[in-house]
């Protein structure tokens, strides 16, 4: 009744056999111990009948749950909702990415204000929100799939409750919260990732009418649902274990009645035999005495003796019938052996379990019947110990051999038989085939192994998904960084182009009046004659005119398109020439100059004069930043296919808040600076395909690093 196959049950509780056995007990008189055995048998029968009824009710409750688990109806329903959410999520992600790709293409084709607007839209907070929410929803769906599989195979009620309240509930809440956030931000249309699917998923998990108690942080399941199905299955399996244990105890106590019944049967047989002998002896004596008295009384006495003998024989037949009824009614096998180990009786159930006919077993040694051929281990030493030492033995699992040579697992009890002088006359072996129980244990073990394999596969799938999510996140971040850099470069280029056009116009317009002023001042100096007459004022005018010319020259250099005149030259020699000539432009007294060249660098193919202007500007800026004392350090190296030139000083350094502006045109921290030197240098380096970087040195000062790629 408690097996998990739930096939049809064709047997009913053996009421008739038990009632007949009780009637036979009532007919048997003269043995005081028989009433105790009869009462004990009645109690065991009552308890087994009650367990049978509970097993029938358990089977009715377990059948729909077993069928649902076997067909995975509830589990497939939950899986379908999760698959639908994943599919809707992929559709939503595809639409958003397609929209983003179209926006990027429009940005590449747009110009001016429209390009700026599209770039801001691509980098907006709203655009980043849906990506973060998408990653969170993907993560929650993966976790939910893993937890649903664990829920379907969980085998402990306490872990089942923990999974419901501490894992499933928070994950579903996070999923709903992210969907609500997307809808609030206007990212979801009404048909995308509908909230009804999440509600249906909750009902498939916890049943219709489930309730959430926020104050206790728990969920009360409703009607139906995968969780309630798993909970009921575990509860019924626990009931099954309890019923099996209770039935096993009753059957063991019932088995304990077999040896007393056999002993009582033996006593009854001997008692009847003694009565018959006494009756026959008394009858013969009475016959002799009566024959002396009267010949006629002989016939009446003979008839009386015959009646008494018939009664004794009938009693013996009834007792034998009772013994046979007890043995035939037993569901377990009962085997009796004599002092030499020869089989003296076996009941039909025992012969059937061993694959023999009853008449074929009587007279054979128990070793020939039970021992398996070729087995080196003697599995039936308890029988020999019972015959030799009179000890009892109980085994929950042993191996008997069938007639065809196959082995059958059994639970057995070996009990010695004693006569009136407490001498061992033989032994009784009761055994029960436990093949079904072993098969059920193997099925359960395979089920657990299959669950472990599924859990491992799910863990590997989860690991792969996490790696894919991490890789996609890294690619998106890299593309976002590239987009930001491209946007900054585009804005900077547009700004430089506008400023260059303005600078070219301004320089052209200033050069003409500057030339006129210079000419008139020179004429005025010639007319004044004497050196002392307004000489200081006219010299100052010429000095300022030269400064104006320098500014306009820088403006034209900044605005002029960088047409490089490339040729091979030695970068170390160029830097040495600049250091030799820089003393003519600015005082280097008190300045320590350090030049560390890399003699292994190859010749560089580039515009030497343009780079001369870059390095000269960097060296002069470094000397001006240090003042009268300090260390100017210049070094070169060749690494990873590009040349690096570092120019560092020990001045005050460049504040971090203005490092991003020093390459902008007209930005300067000098009192008499134009703010064009670094902008021009930046443009020359970019024209070579290189970069100009700035960072402060920890020991003080600033370091400019010029990176120039070498051509293949």
Q: For 335-433, CATH number?
A: 3.30.450.20
What does the pLDDT look like over 127-151, one tens digit per residue?
566 677 778 888 888 888 888 888 8
Mean pLDDT of the chain: 77
Domains 335-433 and 563-709 share a fold: no
The Cα 421–Cα 423 span in angstroms is 5
Q: What is the pLDDT of residue 401?
A: 83
Per mean pLDDT, which of 454-463, 661-670, 687-696 is the most reliable? 687-696
Of these ranges, 175-179, 315-319, 480-484, 566-570, the one predicted with the greatest mean pLDDT is: 566-570
Report which of 700, 26, 28 is spatially closest to residue 319, judged by C-alpha positions.
Answer: 28
Does residue 379 have a pLDDT over 50?
Answer: no
Contact in structure between 393 and 386 (CB atoms under 8 Å)? yes
Average pLDDT score over residue span 492-508: 63
Which of 120, 116, 122 minimizes the C-alpha distance to 103?
122
In this prediction, residue 107 carries a pLDDT of 77
603 vs 539, which has greater pLDDT? 603
Mean pLDDT within 477-484: 81
In DSSP notation, 370-423 reads HSPTT--S-TTHHHHHHHHH---EEEEEEEEE-TTS-EEEEEEEEEEEE-TT--
pLDDT beyond 80 at 276: no
Banded pLDDT at 706 (limits 50, 70, 90) = very high
pLDDT grade, residue 712 (50/70/90)?
Answer: very low
Q: What is the mean pLDDT of residues 467-491?
A: 78
Check pLDDT > 90 for residue 711: no
Distance from chain centroid for Cα 472: 20
Say which DSSP state 165 is in: I
384-395 pLDDT, tens digit per residue, is: 888 888 888 888
Residue 309: other Cβ atoms inside 10 A: 14
pLDDT of res. 27: 63
Q: What is the DSSP string of 66-84?
A: HHHHHHTHHHHHHHHHHHH
Query: Which residues neighbour 313 within 8 Å (Cβ) at sequence distance 6 or greater?
Result: none
Q: What average pLDDT does this structure show over 2-18?
A: 64
pLDDT band at 307 (very low <50, low <70, confident <90, very high): low
Chain Cα centroid distance, residue 166 = 16
Check residue 636 and give its pLDDT: 93
pLDDT of 321 reads: 60
A 10 A CB-CB count for 264 gives 20
**148-162, 238-252, 448-462, 487-501: lowest mean pLDDT where?**
487-501
CA distances (Å), 317 to each of 312, 322, 419, in order? 9, 9, 22
pLDDT of residue 591: 83
* Range name among 287-301, 473-487, 576-590 with the lowest pLDDT average: 287-301
Joined together, the tokens standing for residue 194 give: 């509908």
pLDDT of residue 434: 84
Q: Is the pLDDT of residue 573 over 50?
A: yes
% residues pLDDT > 90 (the chain): 2
Helices (H), 435-588: 435-528, 535-559, 571-581
Q: For 497-522, what is the mean pLDDT?
A: 70
Q: How do the residues of the chain divide into helix, strand and coil, expressed in percent and rounded to 5?
A: 65, 15, 20
pLDDT tens readout for residues 513-556 = 877 787 777 777 777 766 666 777 777 787 777 767 766 666 66
Report residue 373's pLDDT band, with 50, 70 and 90 as the boundaries. Answer: low
Which pLDDT band holds residue 501 (cuts at 50, 70, 90)? low
Q: What is the predicted pLDDT for the residue at 317?
A: 61
CATH code, residues 563-709: 3.30.565.10
Q: What's residue 635's pLDDT?
A: 92
pLDDT, position 302: 46
Q: What integer is the mean pLDDT of 14-27?
A: 69
Residue 377 pLDDT: 45
What is the per-residue pLDDT for 376? 44
Question: Can you tell me the mean pLDDT for 307-322?
Answer: 61
**Structural domain boundaries of the chain?**
15-68+236-255, 74-224, 257-329, 335-433, 495-557, 563-709
The arithmetic mean of pLDDT across residues 8-37, rounded, is 66
pLDDT of residue 516: 79
């Amino acid at each position: 009744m408690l097996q998990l196959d739930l096939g049809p049950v064709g047997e009913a509780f053996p009421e008739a056999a038990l009632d007949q056995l009780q009637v036979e007990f009532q007919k048997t008189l003269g043995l005081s111990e028989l009433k105790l055995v009869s009462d004990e048998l009645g109690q065991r029968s009552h308890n087994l009948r009650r367990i049978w009824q509970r097993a029938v009710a358990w089977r009715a409750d377990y059948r729909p749950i077993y069928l649902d688990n076997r067909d995975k109806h509830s589990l497939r329903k939950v899986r379908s909702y999760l698959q639908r959410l994943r599919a809707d999520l992929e559709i939503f992600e595809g639409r958003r990415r397609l929209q983003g790709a179209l926006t990027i293409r429009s940005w590449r084709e747009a110009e001016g204000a429209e390009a700026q607007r599209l770039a801001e839209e691509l980098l907006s907070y709203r655009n980043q929100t849906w990506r973060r929410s998408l990653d969170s929803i993907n993560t929650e769906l993966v976790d939910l799939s893993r937890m649903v599989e664990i829920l379907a195979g969980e085998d402990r009620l306490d872990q089942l409750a923990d999974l419901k309240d501490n894992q499933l509930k928070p994950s579903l809440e996070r999923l709903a919260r992210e969907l609500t956030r997307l809808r609030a931000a206007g990212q979801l249309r009404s048909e995308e990732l509908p909230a009804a699917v999440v509600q249906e998923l909750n009902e498939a998990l916890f049943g219709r009418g489930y309730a959430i108690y926020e104050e206790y942080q728990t969920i009360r399941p409703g009607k139906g649902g995968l969780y309630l199905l798993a909970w009921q299955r575990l509860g019924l399996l626990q009931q099954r274990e309890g019923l099996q244990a209770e039935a096993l105890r009753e059957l063991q106590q019932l088995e304990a009645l077999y040896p007393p019944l056999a002993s009582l049967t033996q006593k009854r047989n001997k008692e009847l035999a003694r009565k018959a002998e006494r009756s026959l002896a008394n009858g013969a004596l009475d016959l002799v005495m009566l024959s002396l008295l009267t010949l006629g009384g002989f016939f009446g006495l003979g008839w009386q003796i015959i009646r008494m003998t018939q009664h004794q024989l009938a009693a013996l037949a009834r007792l034998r019938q009772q013994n046979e009824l007890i043995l035939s009614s037993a569901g377990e096998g009962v085997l009796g052996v004599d002092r030499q180990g020869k089989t003296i009786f076996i009941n039909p159930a025992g012969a059937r379990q061993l694959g023999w006919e009853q008449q074929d077993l009587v007279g054979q040694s128990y070793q020939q019947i039970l021992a398996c051929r070729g087995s080196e281990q003697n599995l039936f030493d308890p029988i020999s110990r019972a015959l030799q030492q009179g000890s009892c033995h109980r085994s929950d699992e042993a191996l008997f051999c069938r007639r065809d040579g196959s082995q059958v697992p059994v639970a057995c009890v070996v009990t010695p038989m004693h006569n009136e002088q407490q001498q061992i006359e033989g032994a009784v072996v009761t055994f029960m085939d436990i093949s079904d129980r072993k098969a059920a244990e193997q099925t359960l073990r395979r089920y657990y192994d299959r669950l472990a394999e599924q859990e491992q596969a799910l863990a590997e799938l989860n690991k792969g998904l996490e790696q894919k999510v991490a890789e996609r996140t890294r690619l998106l971040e890299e593309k976002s960084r590239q987009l930001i850099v491209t946007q900054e470069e585009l804005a900077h280029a547009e700004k430089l182009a506008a400023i260059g056009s303005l600078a070219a116009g301004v320089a052209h317009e200033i050069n003409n009046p500057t030339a006129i002023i210079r000419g008139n001042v020179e004429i005025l100096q010639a007319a004044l004659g004497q050196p002392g007459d307004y000489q200081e004022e006219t010299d100052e005018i010429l000095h300022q005119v030269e400064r104006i010319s320098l500014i306009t020259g820088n403006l034209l250099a900044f605005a002029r398109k960088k047409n490089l005149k490339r040729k091979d030259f030695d970068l170390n020699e160029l830097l040495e020439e600049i250091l030799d000539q820089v003393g003519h432009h600015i005082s280097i007294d008190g300045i320590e100059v350090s030049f560390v060249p890399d003699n292994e660098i190859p010749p560089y193919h580039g515009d030497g004069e343009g780079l001369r202007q870059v390095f000269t500007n960097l060296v002069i800026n470094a000397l001006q930043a240090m003042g009268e004392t300090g260390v100017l350090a210049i070094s070169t190296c060749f690494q990873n296919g590009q040349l690096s030139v570092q120019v560092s000083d020990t001045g005050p350094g460049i504040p971090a808040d203005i490092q991003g502006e020093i390459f902008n045109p007209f930005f300067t921290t000098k009192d008499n600076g134009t703010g064009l030197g670094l902008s021009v240098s930046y443009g020359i380096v970019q024209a070579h395909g290189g970069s100009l970087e700035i960072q402060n040195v920890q020991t003080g000062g600033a370091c400019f690093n010029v990176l120039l790629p070498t051509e293949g």
